Structure 1
Amino acid sequence: MHTIEPYYNWRGLYIADEDERSPFFGRIYSEFEFTDSIYNYVIHPQWDNIGSPSLYIKILYADYEEGYCILELMGEWNDAIENDIMTLKRDVVELLMMEGIHKFILIGENILNFHASDDCYYEEWFDEVEDEDGWIAFVNFRTHVIEEFKAENIDYFVVSEGELEDVAWRTQTPQQFFQSISQYVMKRLA
């Protein structure tokens, strides 16, 4: 797990720890000290700790003029025990929303499992972004994780599946990626 890095090819365009509006502004990362782990497996030190023992993220790109951000996630999303959605919503999403972000793309190809609790925070997040003509898109989540989201009706609050299951996002610029996801989301919502 320590070899799985957050996507780094957009670092020439955006770096969250250098963005004064980012929740991770001023963070210092080590390339040599592995301080965080998921269970007994250390993870790459470039992932951002949000206060969960099993869910880590990286803001890959934020565009405050267009009002969107792209987040990459890593680990196990556990709402049942750790209430990860509350931590993500309160400590990351709400701070970004205060800066004008209302469209969220979450890349979940490195989410290994999901454990549900209830959908209250998802509903709250959805209601808040919907008021600003925003949305939440889940891209490249594993099939069994999407099935868990569906079993708990979380898919009511996020756009997922279909063309969002296997997106070759690494071959695009952040703007191209956002435009393609935005067009798909708008079709689904229409």
Structure 2
Amino acid sequence: MHTIEHFGNWMNLYNSSKDPNSPFYGKEVNYDVFQYALYDHYIAPGWDSFGSETLYLKVLFADYMNGFVIIELIGEWNDAVYNDISVLKNEVIDFFLEQEINHFILIGENVFNFHGSDDSYYEEWDSELEGDGWIVALNFRDFILQEWERMGLSQYLFYGEFLDLPEWRTLTPLQVYKKVLDQMNRLIS
């Protein structure tokens, strides 16, 4: 686990610790110290803790003019025991909602498990999106998507093969957003 680092090629474009609108503003990272762990496995120091015991993230890019944020996740998304969606919503998402961000792109290649509970915080997040807002989940594992489907989360999150973007690392943040936006416009219209 300690070798899985967040995508860092956009750090010259955006750094959440230098963004006064980010919940991680002012955070200092010591890349020589492993301070967070998933159970008994340390994770790379660049990931940010938002209060969950099993899920960590990195805000890769926030664009306030276009109203989108790209967040990469790592770990186990556990709503059943730790209510991760509640913590994520209250500690991270609400910051961006206050800045009129209404397009959320979650990248889940490094989310290894999901334990669901209820959908109330997903519903709350969805209801607080302004205008044409949406939450897109990119590149999550199939068994996680199946669990989301079983729980009925497809009414709040957009995901699936039509939204997978395996080449996202070769694109700029704006290119990722535009590709997702194009797909969402096709889906919604």
Give the TM bin, normalised by the shorter chain. Answer: over 0.9
How far the C-alpha of 1:128 sits from its partner, in A, is 1.1
Mapping of 1:29-108 within 5 angstroms?
29-108=29-108
- Secondary structure, counterpart of 1:101 in structure 2: coil
Alignment partners' CA distance in 2, 1:158 and 1:169: 19
Partner residue of 1:146?
A: 145
Deviations 1:115-168 (A, max 9, x none): 000011111111111x33210000000000101110100111111002223431
Aligned equivalent of 1:183:
182
- Secondary structure of 2:136 counterpart: strand
In 2: Cα distance, 1:79 partner to 1:105 partner? 19
RMSD: 0.8
| 1:149-164 aligned within 5 A | 149-164=148-163
Distance, in Å, in 2 between the alignment partners of 1:165 and 1:41 is 28
Please give the secondary structure, in 2, of the residue aligned with 1:59: strand
Question: Structure 2: where are the runs of 5+ without partners?
Answer: none
Between the aligned partners of 1:140 and 1:53, the Cα distance in structure 2 is: 22
TM-aligned CA deviation for residue 56 of structure 1? 0.2
Verify: 1:11 aligned to 2:15, yes or no: no
2:178 partner amino acid: Q
SS of alignment partner, residue 128 of structure 2: helix
Aligned length in residues: 189
Structure-2 separation of matches of 1:118 and 1:124 = 12
Give the CA deviation at 1:110: 0.3
Structure 1 residue matching 2:27: 3-state secondary structure: coil
Q: Distance in 2 between matches of 1:36 and 1:96?
A: 24
Which ranges of structure 1 fall in alignment gaps of 5 or more residues?
A: none
TM-score, normalised on structure 1? 0.97
TM-score by length of 2: 0.98
